[in-house]
Amino acid sequence: MIRALPCLAVFLFSSIAFAQDPAAPATSAAPAAAPVTLTASPEIATFQKLEDSWDTAINMRDQYGLELVLSPLFMDVAASGDITTRNQQVASLVAGDDKTMHLDQKVITVRLLGDIAVANGTYLLHHKTATGQADEKGVFTHVFEKVRGGWVCINSQRTAVKQETPGKNKKGSTAEEPFHIPFFSKDSKN
């Protein structure tokens, strides 16, 4: 018992010593909150530059610029469901079927996963359709891979956001509650 007491004292003292932060002040006040930064993260700025290069390549019909942004393994899933490769994207750009096509993309979030990055954002695509010119607004997910110190897009998924047409009224809800649960809702039949 007598031998255990010094061992216990050494253990408690070492636990207390390691638990204390030598750089922290010896006051009992709560630590100050970290300042909130209002600027975008460096990752968002980096990937916005890549998206801007992509936009410029599309808008200026620059084959080489598009090839620098897209990986040879690139796959694109358009909002319409069409799936194309990098070569098909470049061929469409060079053929110039749609001279009015214009793309603007804005990065909202970026997640880095080692040599892979996932960028999410919004886009506006002005293009020609069977019925004339159209503006397609939507969201995108782009997957980038770090290759030789730079980033290239390996996958793109776009989803168009449904636009409300002016003059059409939305059907309003007649429910008293925001959700309708059949057995628990107030109903005139019950």
Q: What is the pTM of this model?
A: 0.65
Percent of the chain's residues with pLDDT above 90: 51
Task: Tell me the residue range of the domain where 126 lies.
Answer: 42-160
- Report pLDDT for 96: 75
CATH number of the structural domain spanning residue 76 = 3.10.450.50
In a domain, 59, yes or no: yes
Residue given tokens 């053929």 in the structure block: 95
- Report pLDDT for 36: 39
In a domain, 12, yes or no: no
Q: Are 104 and 119 in contact (CB under 8 A)?
A: no
- Report pLDDT for 19: 46
- Report pLDDT for 43: 92
- Report pLDDT for 17: 46
In a domain, 168, yes or no: no
In a domain, 16, yes or no: no
- Report pLDDT for 38: 38
In a domain, 5, yes or no: no
For residues 157 and 120, give the distance between their C-alpha atoms in angstroms, rounded to a whole number.
10
In a domain, 175, yes or no: no
- Report pLDDT for 40: 66
**Which regions of the chain are under pLDDT 70?**
1-40, 165-190
In a domain, 148, yes or no: yes
Residues in the chain: 190
- If one counts every other C-beta atom within 10 angstroms of the C-beta of residue 57, the result is 22
For residues 26 and 133, give the distance between their C-alpha atoms in angstroms, rounded to a whole number.
68
- Report pLDDT for 76: 97
